[in-house]
Amino acid sequence: MRVHSECLTGDILGSLRCDCGAQLEQALAAIAAEGCGAVVYLRGQEGRGIGLGHKIRAYALQEAGLDTVDANTAQGLPVDSRSYGVGAQIVGDLGIRRLRLITNNPAKYGGLDGYGLDIVGRVALPVVETPHNVRYLRTKRERMQHDLVLAADGAG
Protein backbone atom coordinates (compact mmCIF):
# COMPACT_ATOMS: atom_id res chain seq x y z
CA MET A 1 0.00 0.00 0.00
CA ARG A 2 1.34 3.40 -0.94
CA VAL A 3 -0.07 6.67 0.43
CA HIS A 4 1.56 9.28 -1.78
CA SER A 5 1.69 13.02 -1.13
CA GLU A 6 0.96 15.18 -4.14
CA CYS A 7 4.00 16.65 -5.89
CA LEU A 8 3.12 18.30 -9.19
CA THR A 9 6.73 19.09 -10.00
CA GLY A 10 8.07 15.61 -9.29
CA ASP A 11 5.14 13.34 -10.10
CA ILE A 12 3.87 15.08 -13.23
CA LEU A 13 6.71 17.22 -14.56
CA GLY A 14 9.51 14.82 -13.62
CA SER A 15 11.53 17.36 -11.65
CA LEU A 16 14.88 16.00 -10.48
CA ARG A 17 14.95 18.24 -7.41
CA CYS A 18 13.06 15.67 -5.35
CA ASP A 19 12.53 11.92 -5.51
CA CYS A 20 8.72 12.04 -5.49
CA GLY A 21 8.23 10.97 -9.12
CA ALA A 22 10.70 8.10 -8.74
CA GLN A 23 8.96 6.95 -5.56
CA LEU A 24 5.56 6.96 -7.23
CA GLU A 25 6.93 4.88 -10.11
CA GLN A 26 8.66 2.47 -7.70
CA ALA A 27 5.50 2.05 -5.65
CA LEU A 28 3.38 1.36 -8.72
CA ALA A 29 5.94 -1.18 -9.96
CA ALA A 30 6.15 -2.89 -6.55
CA ILE A 31 2.37 -3.19 -6.33
CA ALA A 32 2.17 -4.51 -9.89
CA ALA A 33 4.86 -7.09 -9.10
CA GLU A 34 3.04 -8.14 -5.93
CA GLY A 35 -0.20 -8.53 -7.83
CA CYS A 36 -2.21 -6.65 -5.22
CA GLY A 37 -2.18 -3.34 -3.41
CA ALA A 38 -3.24 0.23 -3.99
CA VAL A 39 -1.92 3.75 -4.29
CA VAL A 40 -3.82 6.51 -2.51
CA TYR A 41 -2.81 9.87 -3.93
CA LEU A 42 -3.31 12.66 -1.40
CA ARG A 43 -4.16 15.97 -3.01
CA GLY A 44 -3.67 19.11 -0.94
CA GLN A 45 -0.34 17.91 0.43
CA GLU A 46 1.81 19.72 -2.11
CA GLY A 47 5.08 20.92 -0.58
CA ARG A 48 4.43 18.93 2.62
CA GLY A 49 1.29 20.99 2.98
CA ILE A 50 2.44 24.52 2.08
CA GLY A 51 0.96 24.48 -1.43
CA LEU A 52 2.50 24.88 -4.85
CA GLY A 53 3.06 28.65 -4.75
CA HIS A 54 4.96 28.49 -1.47
CA LYS A 55 6.90 25.46 -2.68
CA ILE A 56 8.09 27.40 -5.72
CA ARG A 57 9.12 30.25 -3.38
CA ALA A 58 10.89 27.65 -1.25
CA TYR A 59 12.84 26.59 -4.33
CA ALA A 60 14.07 30.17 -4.75
CA LEU A 61 15.20 30.15 -1.11
CA GLN A 62 16.91 26.79 -1.67
CA GLU A 63 18.78 28.32 -4.61
CA ALA A 64 20.03 30.91 -2.08
CA GLY A 65 21.37 28.13 0.17
CA LEU A 66 18.56 27.12 2.53
CA ASP A 67 17.59 23.48 2.87
CA THR A 68 14.02 22.25 2.41
CA VAL A 69 13.19 22.58 6.11
CA ASP A 70 14.52 26.12 6.53
CA ALA A 71 12.98 27.23 3.22
CA ASN A 72 9.55 26.48 4.71
CA THR A 73 10.16 28.13 8.08
CA ALA A 74 11.75 31.21 6.44
CA GLN A 75 8.32 31.81 4.92
CA GLY A 76 6.65 31.49 8.32
CA LEU A 77 5.24 28.10 7.33
CA PRO A 78 5.35 24.72 9.04
CA VAL A 79 8.01 22.23 8.01
CA ASP A 80 5.41 19.52 7.45
CA SER A 81 1.71 20.08 8.07
CA ARG A 82 0.51 16.84 6.50
CA SER A 83 -1.92 14.63 8.34
CA TYR A 84 -2.93 11.20 7.20
CA GLY A 85 -6.39 10.70 8.69
CA VAL A 86 -8.17 11.16 5.37
CA GLY A 87 -5.68 8.81 3.70
CA ALA A 88 -6.35 6.20 6.36
CA GLN A 89 -10.09 6.54 5.85
CA ILE A 90 -9.70 6.11 2.08
CA VAL A 91 -7.64 2.98 2.69
CA GLY A 92 -10.38 1.66 4.97
CA ASP A 93 -13.05 2.59 2.43
CA LEU A 94 -11.19 0.49 -0.16
CA GLY A 95 -11.78 -2.45 2.17
CA ILE A 96 -8.10 -2.73 3.10
CA ARG A 97 -7.62 -3.51 6.79
CA ARG A 98 -4.24 -5.22 6.90
CA LEU A 99 -1.35 -3.81 4.95
CA ARG A 100 2.31 -3.22 4.46
CA LEU A 101 3.10 0.45 3.89
CA ILE A 102 5.55 1.58 1.21
CA THR A 103 7.42 4.49 2.77
CA ASN A 104 10.68 5.69 4.27
CA ASN A 105 8.90 8.31 6.37
CA PRO A 106 8.28 7.40 10.03
CA ALA A 107 5.77 10.26 10.43
CA LYS A 108 3.64 8.79 7.65
CA TYR A 109 3.83 5.35 9.19
CA GLY A 110 2.78 6.74 12.58
CA GLY A 111 0.18 9.04 11.03
CA LEU A 112 -1.72 6.16 9.42
CA ASP A 113 -1.69 4.06 12.56
CA GLY A 114 -4.75 4.00 14.78
CA TYR A 115 -7.57 4.24 12.26
CA GLY A 116 -8.57 0.62 12.49
CA LEU A 117 -5.80 -0.34 10.08
CA ASP A 118 -3.44 -3.16 10.91
CA ILE A 119 -0.08 -2.01 9.53
CA VAL A 120 1.96 -5.20 9.63
CA GLY A 121 5.12 -3.94 7.99
CA ARG A 122 6.99 -1.26 6.14
CA VAL A 123 8.38 -1.68 2.65
CA ALA A 124 11.40 0.56 2.12
CA LEU A 125 11.79 2.33 -1.17
CA PRO A 126 15.28 2.10 -2.66
CA VAL A 127 16.75 5.57 -2.85
CA VAL A 128 17.08 7.07 -6.33
CA GLU A 129 19.96 9.42 -5.67
CA THR A 130 21.24 11.97 -8.16
CA PRO A 131 23.48 15.03 -7.89
CA HIS A 132 20.28 17.10 -8.18
CA ASN A 133 18.40 15.58 -5.24
CA VAL A 134 21.16 14.51 -2.85
CA ARG A 135 20.83 17.59 -0.62
CA TYR A 136 17.07 17.13 -0.51
CA LEU A 137 17.52 13.48 0.48
CA ARG A 138 20.12 14.28 3.10
CA THR A 139 17.80 16.85 4.66
CA LYS A 140 15.01 14.26 4.77
CA ARG A 141 17.26 11.87 6.62
CA GLU A 142 18.98 14.32 8.96
CA ARG A 143 16.17 16.72 9.78
CA MET A 144 13.02 14.66 9.18
CA GLN A 145 14.26 11.26 10.37
CA HIS A 146 13.49 9.47 7.09
CA ASP A 147 15.01 6.02 6.97
CA LEU A 148 17.42 6.53 4.06
CA VAL A 149 20.81 5.10 3.20
CA LEU A 150 22.65 7.43 0.87
CA ALA A 151 25.60 6.45 -1.29
CA ALA A 152 26.83 9.99 -1.74
CA ASP A 153 27.57 10.80 1.91
CA GLY A 154 30.41 13.24 1.89
CA ALA A 155 29.61 14.40 -1.64
CA GLY A 156 27.73 17.53 -2.72
Ligand X SMILES: Nc1nc2c(ncn2[C@@H]2O[C@H](COP(=O)(O)OP(=O)(O)OP(=O)(O)O)[C@@H](O)[C@H]2O)c(=O)[nH]1
Where do contacts with ligand X occur on this chain (CB under 6 A)?
A: 5-7, 18, 20, 23, 45-48, 50, 55, 58, 68, 72, 103-105, 108, 125, 140, 146
Smaller CB separation from ligand X, 69 or 152: 69
The CB-of-29 to ligand X minimum distance in angstroms stands at 14
Sequence-separated (6 or more) residues with CB below 8 Å from residue 154: none
Smaller CB separation from ligand X, 138 or 140: 140
Produce one character per residue of 71-94: b if its CB has 16 or more CB atoms within 10 Å, e if not. Answer: bbeeeebeebebebeebbebbeee
The CB-of-27 to ligand X minimum distance in angstroms stands at 8
Query: What number of other Cβ atoms are within 10 A of residue 65's Cβ?
Result: 8
Out of 2, 48, 57, 82, pick the active-site residue.
Answer: 82
The CB-of-43 to ligand X minimum distance in angstroms stands at 10
Q: Are 55 and 18 in contact (CB under 8 A)?
A: no
Smaller CB separation from ligand X, 41 or 115: 41
Out of 11, 80, 93, 97, pick the active-site residue.
Answer: 80
Q: Which of 54, 49, 16 is nearest to 130 (CA)?
A: 16
82 is catalytic: yes
Q: How far apart are alpha carbons 3 and 42 in whole angstroms?
A: 7
The CB-of-23 to ligand X minimum distance in angstroms stands at 5
Smaller CB separation from ligand X, 7 or 91: 7
Q: Which of 17, 19, 22, 21 is nearest to 63 (CA)?
A: 17
Q: Which residues are catalytic?
A: 80, 82
